[in-house]
């Protein structure tokens, strides 16, 4: 039976989901398998699988999506990007998703490989991809939202204008980029509503365990880290256990506030690790 994420969201039940990325080495494949097994015990509402820049991990991404959905029976959302692709390829890939029973897609432009990269005339933005997929009634379409605005936007108003255009092409729900101050999320949701965007907005959660790694990610996507949290992490940089607990406790508090104040669910960026996500998930108050 095909289950669409928007139907889960519209049911009023909170959704709890996990994101994985395709491993690049054999040891990473084993690690992913162990971590997926741990997270499956939590009965996620759905899982998602990322898609490498320019389709660099397409084969393994598609294989994982197929395996999770059709072998493990997990409701699976496939990430898909249009950067560097043409219409024929996109139509063919959409046909394949339908063929293997994938109904849920996270549609993105994708990161530019370099500043000199020339975008396709037909697919410059995620909205162009959404428009093509939206013409097919088969798919439930998710897209990205940026509580602190997309780095390439001129300003927050411009970012929201572009988001509204993307949503109007056929987006059913949004998943936000990571953020660490809930005020950004709640302000973003309010601004979306005030600008005619009335679809569910799932907050994306990134547990801060490896502070240097998360700090790098934050700089790449424009997500700010609260000064007090950064200072704590720096203070205990030589104490892995303490750093881990600080990160987990922070995420638990963040998740509890989001759920208690009306977020439709939580989407965890697991980085293919299970321990922190399990510890957080089992400690939050699910309402």
Return the domain boundaries, the chain. 5-281
Q: Identify the pLDDT of residue 86.
A: 85
Would you write out the chain's pLDDT as a tens digit for each of its 287 residues? 789 999 999 999 999 999 998 877 555 766 777 778 888 889 999 999 998 765 557 788 999 999 999 999 999 999 999 887 888 989 999 999 999 999 999 999 876 655 555 556 677 789 999 999 999 889 999 999 999 988 888 899 999 999 999 999 999 999 999 999 999 999 999 999 999 999 999 999 998 888 888 888 788 778 899 999 888 988 888 898 999 999 999 999 999 999 999 999 999 999 888 889 999 999 998 76
List b or e across 222-242, with b for residues whose CB sees 16 or more CB atoms inside 10 angstroms: bbebeeebbebbeebeeeeee
Pick the CATH number of 5-281 from 3.20.20.220, 3.30.450.90, 3.20.20.70, 1.10.240.10: 3.20.20.220
Rounded to whole angstroms, the maximal C-alpha distance in the chain is: 53
Beta bridge pairs of residue 47: 18, 76
Which residue bears the tokens 């607990």? 245
Q: Could you tell me which of 253, 251, 257, 255 has the C-alpha nearest to residue 273?
A: 251
How far apart CA 60 and CA 81 sit, in angstroms, is 15
The residues annotated as belonging to the active site are 19
How far apart CA 200 and CA 236 sit, in angstroms, is 37
Kindly report the backbone phi and psi dihedral angles of residue 282, in degrees, each rounded to the nearest multiple of 5, phi listed first. -75, -10
Task: Look up the pTM and report it.
Answer: 0.92
């Amino acid at each position: 039976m095909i289950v669409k994420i928007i139907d889960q969201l519209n049911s009023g039940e909170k959704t709890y989901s996990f994101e994985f990325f395709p491993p690049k080495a054999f040891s990473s494949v084993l690690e992913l398998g162990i971590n997926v097994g741990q997270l499956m015990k939590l009965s996620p509402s759905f899982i998602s699988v990322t898609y490498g820049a320019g389709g660099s991990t397409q084969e393994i991404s598609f294989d994982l999506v197929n395996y999770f959905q059709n072998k493990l029976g997990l409701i699976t959302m496939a990430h898909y990007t249009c950067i560097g692709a043409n219409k024929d390829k996109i139509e063919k890939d959409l046909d394949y998703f339908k063929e293997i029973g994938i109904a849920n897609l996270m549609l993105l432009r994708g990161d530019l490989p370099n500043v000199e990269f020339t975008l396709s005339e037909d697919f410059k933005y995620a909205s162009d991809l959404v428009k093509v997929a939206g013409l097919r009634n088969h798919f439930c379409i998710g897209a990205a939202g940026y509580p602190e605005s997309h780095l390439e936007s001129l300003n927050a108003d411009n970012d929201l204008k572009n988001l509204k255009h993307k949503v109007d092409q056929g987006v059913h729900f949004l998943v936000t980029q990571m953020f660490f101050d809930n005020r950004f999320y709640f302000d973003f949701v309010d601004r979306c509503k005030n600008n005619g965007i009335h679809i569910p907005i799932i907050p994306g959660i990134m547990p801060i365990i490896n502070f240097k790694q998360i700090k790098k990610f934050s700089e790449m996507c424009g997500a700010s880290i609260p000064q007090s949290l950064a200072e704590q992490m720096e203070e205990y940089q030589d104490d892995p256990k303490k750093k881990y607990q600080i990160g987990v406790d922070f995420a638990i508090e963040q998740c509890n506030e989001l759920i208690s104040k009306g977020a439709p669910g939580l989407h965890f960026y697991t980085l293919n690790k299970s321990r922190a996500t399990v510890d957080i998930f089992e400690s939050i108050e699910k309402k």
